Amino acid sequence: MAMVAARAGVSGQTVSRVVNDSPRVDPATRERVEEAMAELGYRPHRAARALRTGRSETLGVVAQTLATVGNSALLQAVAEAAEARGYALAVVTLGSAGRIAEAFDRLHDQGVDGAIVLNEASVLARDADPAGLALVVVDAPADPRFAVIGTDHAAGARAATAHLLDRGATTVHHLAGPEGSFAAAERERGWREELAARGLRIPDPLRGDWSAGSGHDRGGVLAADPTVTAVFAANDQMALGLLRALADAGRAVPEDVAVLGFDDIADAAEFRPPLSTIRQDFAALGELAVRLVVDRVEGRDAPDPALLAPALLAPALIRRASA
């Protein structure tokens, strides 16, 4: 740092302000210091900074698995938002054992400043003590110990069901997500509420595990039932398997059966036919999660009664050829 200061003709304190992105630096001076840093190959030492500031500038992420498209998309969004704020990530996956208390212990051992719990893992956060860890949980009921954010899954499911009914279906069948998933339960709730509000029959849902394979397996049952004319799948991957099952059974989409998914994954428009779906804004969700946890870490989380309730982002109906 002393060498950078000498090269730029400034004080060491000015270099420190540039390194810590302080607004109290003249733009021309900042540019001169950054040029000196580049010329000398100077990089801030993360461990030394942690000793000085008491923060590691690392956030933890807890996920049940990264095999699902939704979790991977959200992790990517979190990683981009964290990098933009100068934070690194430490990722812990729970697997089938699902011991979130151990995950929190591991993150404490790694000295993370705060953590974000993703999707399916959120149901476990209610049963574990974060032990003072600044925490944001995605897709969970309200909890006074941490901030909760998510997509308004129930509203998205109601929009999906309403769209299928407005196309002329007499009822809508549901290919549901796994038990124990908050998002799956909320999507099922929205589907049920829309059918009930119209006084329509609510068929028994078939339950998958988010994978295309489970969508194909359960989809075979739906394809064999001639009364099935519209299906709301709880995610796009299961909808993909369902489309194959319908094709195998010789049933045309959307002429015989309309299909609508949830998530709007990157390849949804490339399905055959292109998949109508409910779009989650993963980028906005990741940005909000990181902003809230960093605000807590850096002491900017002013008490706000509104944050005691989950902050829900509105999804959007995307119309394509499948429904």
Instruction: Note the pLDDT tens digit of each residue in 159-179.
Output: 999 999 999 999 999 999 999
Q: Cβ atoms within 10 A of the Cβ of 203, count? A: 17
Q: Note the pLDDT of residue 127.
A: 74
Higher pLDDT pick, 174 / 180 = 174
Q: Nearest 5°: phi and psi at 107?
A: -70, -40
Alpha-carbon span 185 to 177, nearest angstrom: 8
Q: How far is CA 46 from the centre of its chain?
A: 28
Q: Cβ atoms within 10 A of the Cβ of 202, count? A: 15
- What ranges in 133-227 are assigned the alpha helix state H? 153-166, 182-197, 212-223
As to burial, measured by CB atoms within 10 angstroms (0-12 exposed, 13-18 middle, 19+ buried), residue 2 is exposed
pTM for the model: 0.81
Strand 276-279 to 316-318 pairing: antiparallel
Rg (CA), the chain: 24
pLDDT at 305 over 60: no
Instruction: Give residue-wise pLDDT tens across range 26-74.
Output: 999 999 999 999 998 887 655 455 545 556 799 999 998 888 888 999 9
Single-letter residue type at 194:
E
Residue whose entry in the numeric block shows the structure tokens 């212990």: 105
Which range has the worst mean pLDDT, 151-155, 296-300, 313-317? 296-300
Residue whose entry in the numeric block shows the structure tokens 């697997």: 95
Residue 262: pLDDT band (50, 70, 90) is: very high
Alpha-carbon span 262 to 5, nearest angstrom: 54
DSSP output for 38-104: HHHT----HHHHHHHHS---EEEEEES-S-SHHHHHHHHHHHHHHHHTT-EEEEEE-TTT--HHHHH
Could you tell me which residues are beta bridge partners of residue 262?
Answer: 278
Alpha-carbon span 153 to 315, nearest angstrom: 8
